[in-house]
Amino acid sequence: MSSLGKLLVQRIALGLLLLLAVSALIFAGTQILPGDVAQSILGQSATPTALANLREELGLNEPAIVRYFGWLGGVVTGDLGTALSNGQDIGPQIGKRLGNTMFLAACAAVVAVPLAIFLGLVAVRYRNRWPDKVISGLTLASISLPEFFIGYVLIYFFAVKFRWFPSVATVYDSMSFIEKLNSIALPVTVLTLVVLAHMMRMTRAAILNVMQSAYIETAELKGLSAFNVIFKHAFPNAISPIVNVVMLNLAYLVVGIVVVEVIFVYPGMGQYLVDHVAKRDVPVVQACGLIFAGVFIGLNLVADVVAILSNPRLRHPK
Amino acid sequence: MRIPLSALVGIIMTGSFFLIALFAPLVAPYGLAEIVGDVWEPRSAEHWLGTDNIGRDLLSRMIYGGRTTIFIATAATALSFILGSILGLTAAVLGGWIDQAMSRGVDLIMAIPSLIFALVVLSVMPVTTFVLIVVMGLLDSTRVFRLSRAVAVDINVMDFVEAAKLRGEKLKWIIFREILPNALSPLVAELGLRFIFAVLFLSTLSFLGLGVQPPASDWGGMVKENKEGIVFGIGAALVPAAAISILAISVNLVADWVLNRTSDLKGGRGG
């Protein structure tokens, strides 16, 4: 058990190290570029005084390494800095939006994950017959469709033509849970469609892989029904790859959500990030970028850890 | 060599997209920025797809927009392939700490979602076509690096490469004459997928207002320009969005076929 613990601690430490390196990369991405950040924020027509003021405000007169550690120290203690565009603290602004984004992502995950796994199982059950073919066709389509195409088609039909759902997904605190769900129905559908096919296909591949083992053949020869074989014998051994698939797709959801929030004008992190990239508000962009990257790394880490935990050979080393 | 129907459709569609992009000024009925009618006119004989949010001919905009999309996506894919495959093959052949350093560096960049990283970088860079191509190409080259390194590591331990090394061939010879020809088929199959990714990525950036800047426009930007119309039941924004999807699907059909062919060759089992 101790070596397992060691392995887990190692993974988590590695994840934290990666996060640290990523924070440096994000910082470097906005600072050590050709030209001057202040200049590129204000444009070519900026007056020298304005430039000097902004440089002072951004602390550009100090060396980059000092600024990096200053920023990092702030982030670790929960101080994300102040936004350039309105001078407000970034932390509280992000906090609320992060909650909204998590709500949207969680709803999408709750719909997409069970559906994808169930459909993946169905595809294995009817391998090479029409349900399977439909699934691989859908996969091809879903890789090729941009989020905004699915989004606007849904808005066009379900919000404008049939008027079932609102086209703009606004949520605020006084809304009841049901009202919130109604308002985010369309964005959740888009996110689900974006990750569903891929998740289905990879679930199918993971189970098919297990299905080729000898003990599955034994189970089949015993005369068990196909669903029993898949559920009781193949599925437990496919959990690790499936969890991996799910985590990878949730990580993808993190990116997809940026676009979906813009389509539906949803008050979340993605919208916030995009708005401030356009305003060249570097501190906000850094903070958002770090949070998105952190969630992404965290989900990958969970996938890693689950893979270790669900593998008996790793859990009970010789 | 028999080409399956789906691949044939894909090749024809992809080919026509590229041809139209190439000869855009000859094909387009109106100019790029020419205002020829009212706002969001419906389809008519003069304007096959109607007009856009400020009365420009949508079909002409589509043709020019496609040119921009395809040009930038192609250039970014080319950059990512040249850079990614050369670095990947070099890492595989050299091994040791150079390989370690490069692979860990790529791991680090891939730990940040491409879109997020691109947004971070574009927040301080001037958004020009050149910057877009470089940013997209560099970010995507990490994926090509991974693939080409993985393929090349297997080839690098084969006897004929060993023989070439013992013969005293230089690094350049080993990479380009021994390994590259044998790594080409999986790389070509990947090319299509990377191109699709580049198209979708550029469209997404433009849709977010951070890609191609007006008055020039690509398909993603056109979706952004016309998105307000959706609420009034005007489908102008759906046209460029559909074009992106159709282009992506056509390239995918071709890539799928190439992928199947190359994996058939490897596995030795047809069908």
Q: How many domains in chain B?
A: 1
Q: What's the pLDDT tens digit per position in B138-154?
A: 999 999 999 999 888 88
- Which chain B residues are closer than 8 Å to A30 by Cβ? 120-121, 123-124
Identify whether B196 is part of a domain.
Answer: yes
Token pair of A84 as six digits? 């350039």
Dist CA A165 CA A122 (whole Å): 30
Identify whether B270 is part of a domain.
Answer: no
Would you call B244 and A280 a contact, using CB atoms and an 8 Å cutoff? no
- Most distant CA pair in chain A, distance: 84
Q: Which among B116, B121, B204 has the least Cβ separation from residue A146?
A: B204
Confidence of residue B176 (pLDDT cuts 50, 70, 90): confident
Identify whether B151 is part of a domain.
Answer: yes
Best to test chain A binding among B40, B106, B116, B127 (most A CBs inside 10 Å): B116
Identify whether B230 is part of a domain.
Answer: yes
* pLDDT value at B77 more than 90: yes
Would you call A149 and B245 a contact, using CB atoms and an 8 Å cutoff? yes
Q: How far is CA A64 from CA A35, A57, A59, A289, in A?
A: 14, 14, 9, 18
Token pair of A138 as six digits? 């859908």
Domain residues for B186?
A: 5-33+50-265
**Beta-carbon contacts of residue A54 (< 8 Å; ≥ 6 apart):** A38, A41, A42, A60, A84
Would you call A33 and B121 a contact, using CB atoms and an 8 Å cutoff? yes
Query: Out of A65-69, A168-172, A269-273, B173-177, which region has the weakest mean confidence (pLDDT)?
Result: A168-172
Identify whether B57 is part of a domain.
Answer: yes
Dist CA B214 CA B198 (whole Å): 20
- The average pLDDT across A24-47 equals 71
pTM (predicted TM-score):
0.86
* pLDDT value at A62 more than 90: no
B177–chain A nearest CA distance, Å:
34
Identify whether B171 is part of a domain.
Answer: yes
Q: What's the pLDDT tens digit per position in A239-260?
A: 777 887 788 788 778 878 898 9
Would you call A156 and B235 a contact, using CB atoms and an 8 Å cutoff? yes
Taking Cα atoms as reference points, which of B104, B122, B126, B103 lies closest to residue B114?
Answer: B122
What pLDDT was estimated at residue B87?
Answer: 92
Q: What is the CATH number of the domain that holds B62?
A: 1.10.3720.10
- B109 vs A: CB within 8 A: yes
Token pair of A160 as six digits? 């404008």
Token pair of A163 as six digits? 């008027």
B58-94 and B96-110 helices, crossing angle to 10°? 150
Identify whether B271 is part of a domain.
Answer: no
Would you call B113 and A273 a contact, using CB atoms and an 8 Å cutoff? no
Token pair of B224 as six digits? 């952004």
What pLDDT was estimated at residue B267?
Answer: 41
Identify whether B40 is part of a domain.
Answer: no
* pLDDT value at B226 more than 60: yes
- The average pLDDT across B215-233 equals 84
